Chains A and B, each alone.
Chain A
Amino acid sequence: MSPRDVPPDEMGPHDRPDPEFEALLAGGASEDGTELARLVTALRSDVRTPAAEDAHVAAMVEAAGHLHAEKGDPVVRPVSNADAPVPKVSRLPKRRRNDMPNRRAILLKVLAPAFALLMLFSGMAFAGVLPAPLQGAVDQWVGNDDDQGTAPAPDDDQGEDLDDQGEVTADDDADDQGEDGDDQGEDEGNAVSDDDQGEDGDHQGEDGDDQGEDEGNAVSDDDQGEDGDHQGEDGDDQGGGQDDDQGGATNDHQGDDDDQGAGDHDGGDQDDQGGGDQQ
C-alpha cells in the first residue's frame, strides 16, 4: 500500500512514514527503480575514504600533540617517527609558585612590637612616669597583687593612703599653704594667743614648741609642695609631737588623721595651739 492510499484524516501529512524511503535507508532495493532509489544509491555508492587520509590523520595527531603539550603530557609521535629525538614543545608558562608567608614570621612581626610596647610601658610604670590615671591604676594593680601575696591589710592600706594623699596634696598644696600662711598669720597676729602664751609659761613653752613645729610645718609645707610624702612624714612628726604631749593614741592613727588634708592638718595644729592657749 502506498502512503498516498492512507486516508488523510488518519495521519498528518508530514507524520506519515515514507515506506519507500525507509526501505531504501534500510538497504532494500526499490521495486520499480524510482528516481529516489537511484539518488539514494548514487549518494551511498560514492562513499569512500578521503584521499587525504594520511594528511588528515597527521593533522589530528599534531592537534592532539598540542593538546597534550598544553596539559604537560608527552607529545604524541607517529610510529614512523618513533626513533626521532623528542621534539621540543613550547609549553604554557607554568605559574610561579607563590608561597604563603611564614606564620612564624607573621607572629614575630606582630608580637615583637607588642612585646616592645609592653616592656616600654612596664618600664614607665616602674619609673612612675606614666600619666596619673594610668599610673594610679598600675599602682593599684600592683598593690592589690602585693596584698594578695604578702601582708595583711592595715600597713599596706596606710601606705596607700599616704600615696593617695600625696597625690591629692600635690594638687592642693598651694591652697593649703596659703591657708597655712593665713592661719599662721592669724596666729602671729593673734594678740590673745600671745597673751595666753604669756599667761602660761608651760603652755607658752608648749606653744613655742608648737610654733616651732608650726614653723617647721611652714617649711615642711613648702616641702609638701614639692613632695607629698614629706608632707605625710611631717604630719606624722607633728602627730608624734602631739603624741609625746598627749601620750594617747597610736602614731599611725594620728598620722592618718593629720594626713587627711594638709590644710586640716595645719589647721589642727592651729587648733591645737588654740587649745593649748585655751588650756
Chain B
Amino acid sequence: MVGMQVSPQADGPLGAGRPLGVRFDQVVAAANAGGEWAWRELYRSAAPAVDRYLRARGVPDADDLVGETFVRVVRHLHRFAGDEPDFRAWVFAIARNLVVDAARRNTRRPADATPAAALHTLAPVGDAEEDAMGELATAEVIRILSQLTDDQRDVLLLRIVGDLSIAQIAEILGRREGAVKMLQARGLATLRRIGSGEAVTP
C-alpha cells in the first residue's frame, strides 16, 4: 500500500498542471526538434507543481529557481527517456538539486532572504485577494513544515505536491524505499502532534 503507484497528474487532484497524457512522446520529440510550443506544453505540465514545491520549501527566489529548473530540462531533455510520470519525477529531481545547491550557496554567503512570515506582504500578481490568501496560506504552511527535518519535508512535499510515489522519491533522494517510508511516517507523526497542540489554518 505504501509503495502504491500514484497516478500521473492527468488523473490526480491537481488542477493547475496540464497533463500531456498520450501526447507526451510527441511533445517531447517536438521539443527536441526545437518547437517552442512543445517547450511551453512541457513547462505547463510540470511548472505549477514545481513552483508550489519550491515555495512550500521556503526557497526565497522560487520563481528564479523554476526558470532555472526548466532551462536545465531543456539542456538535458535529449538524454531523458521515460513516460510522463518519469518526466515529472525527473523535473522534481532537478528542482530539488537546485534547492540543495542554493542552500549551500546561502550557507557560504548568507543572503538577505525574505522571511517566511513576510511573504504575504510581497506585491501580489494577478488577483490581489486570491494572491494574498495564497501567500498567507503559504506562510502558514511554511511555518508548519519548518518544524520537520529537511528530508521529512521533502518526502511529504514530493508526495503531496509532486504526486510522486515512494519509489520515485527514493530515487530522487538517493535513499532506499524503506528509509523514505520511515521519513514519511515520522513526518506525518510530527504533523499530527503539531495539529493536536496548535491548529493549522490553511
Contacts and interface: CB of A to CB of B under 8 A. Distances in A.
Chain B, interface SS category: helix
A47 B34 contact: no
Given A21-B188, A35-B199, A35-B200, A44 B13 contact: yes
Interface stretch (A73-81, A106-114, A251-259): A73-81
B48 A48 contact: yes
Chain A, interface SS category: helix
- How many of chain A's residues touch chain B, expressed as a range? 35 or more
B1 A22 contact: yes
Interface in B150-200: 157, 159-161, 163, 178, 181-182, 184-186, 188, 191-192, 194-196, 199-200
Interface stretch (B81-89, B90-98, B102-110, B135-143): B135-143
Contact of B71 (A22, A45, A51, A59): A59
Contacts, number: 150
Contact of B74 (A38, A42, A67): A67
A63 B71 contact: yes
Contacts of A195: none
Nearest to B7: A26
Contact of A53 (B35, B36, B44, B140): B44
A254 B201 CA distance: 140
Nearest to A64: B74
B129 to A, nearest CB: 13
Given A15-B2, A51-B63, A60-B74, A79 B185 contact: no
Q: Which of B37, B74, B134, B157 has the most CB of A within 10 A?
A: B74
B44 A25 contact: no
B24 interface: no
20 contacts: A14-B178, A14-B181, A16-B2, A21-B188, A27-B12, A35-B200, A39-B144, A39-B195, A44-B160, A45-B137, A46-B137, A47-B16, A47-B49, A48-B51, A49-B48, A52-B66, A57-B39, A64-B31, A64-B74, A78-B36
Q: What are the 3 tightest A-B residue pairs by CB atom distance, in nearest-first order?
A: A35-B195, A42-B202, A17-B1
Interface of B: 1-2, 4, 6, 12-17, 31, 34-37, 39-40, 43-44, 47-49, 51-52, 55-56, 63, 66-67, 70-71, 73-75, 125-126, 134, 137-138, 140-141, 144, 157, 159-161, 163, 178, 181-182, 184-186, 188, 191-192, 194-196, 199-202
Interface of A: 13-18, 21-22, 24-27, 34-36, 38-53, 55-57, 59-61, 63-65, 67-68, 73-74, 76-79
Given A45-B137, A46-B55, 4 more contacts: A14-B185, A15-B2, A22-B4, A63-B71
